[in-house]
Amino acid sequence: MKRIAILISALCLALSVSAQPAQQGGRREGRPEGRFNREEMMSRIQSEHIAYLTAELSLTPEEAQVFWPVYNKAQKEQAEQHKTVRDAGRELRSAVKDNKGDKEIKKALDNYNKAKAAQKDILAGYQEDFIKAIGVEKTAKLYIAEDSFRTKQINRLGQERGNAQARQQGNRPDKGKGDKERNNKKESKN
């Protein structure tokens, strides 16, 4: 029963955060139409992420109490390392763009690859902590759910960008393959 209450609470939080832009017509005061607030978007994604993991892992209240602090610590480290990767990427792009020479470019490339490797190692470094908190099977489900959530977010972002481009060009964003399929179904019914 507690598990259901936790899941419902997480889903309500995610829905309330994601519904706010829709309630205000997708527009925030002081910003032109179509502009977004990065903080709001990140907050919405974070809420969806928590709800998604909660549902996928089916954590008991006891597991959740141990798991979330460990997971949040890992996420914080990943966010910090992401900044390092981003900075190393800028350094690499700058070295190439400015034709700094092979020695400087090689150094920037090495720094970038080290930063990327360290970023990947963070989640793996927490594997034993996750196993202690939620067991082997749910730890495996965590890694699978992380990849699945990331893929869904990338697909949704691509779809949203495609819809925005279609609106800018004066087309309806929902036109396309789906409409053809709906029209074919209507025709087959008649």
Out of 35-39, 72-76, 109-113, which region has the weakest mean confidence (pLDDT)?
Answer: 35-39
Q: Are residues 71 and 117 in the same domain?
A: yes
- At CA 148, angle to CA 80 and CA 159, rounded to 5? 95
Query: pLDDT tens-digit profile of 94-126?
Result: 999 999 999 999 999 999 999 999 988 998 899
On whether the CB atoms of residues 46 and 79 are closer than 8 A, the answer is: no
Q: pLDDT value at position 126?
A: 94
Per-residue pLDDT averaged across 68-77, rounded?
94
DSSP state letter for 27: -
Domain boundary among 97, 125, 141: 141
How far apart are the C-alpha atoms of 81 and 117, rounded to whole Å? 10
Domain that holds residue 88: 60-141
Q: Which long-range contacts (CB under 8 A, 24 or more apart) does 145-150 make?
A: 145/52, 145/53, 145/56, 145/57, 146/53, 148/56, 149/48, 149/49, 149/52, 149/53
Mean pLDDT, the chain, whole residue set? 78
The pTM score is 0.62
Residue 147 lies in a domain: no
Residues 16 and 85 in one domain: no
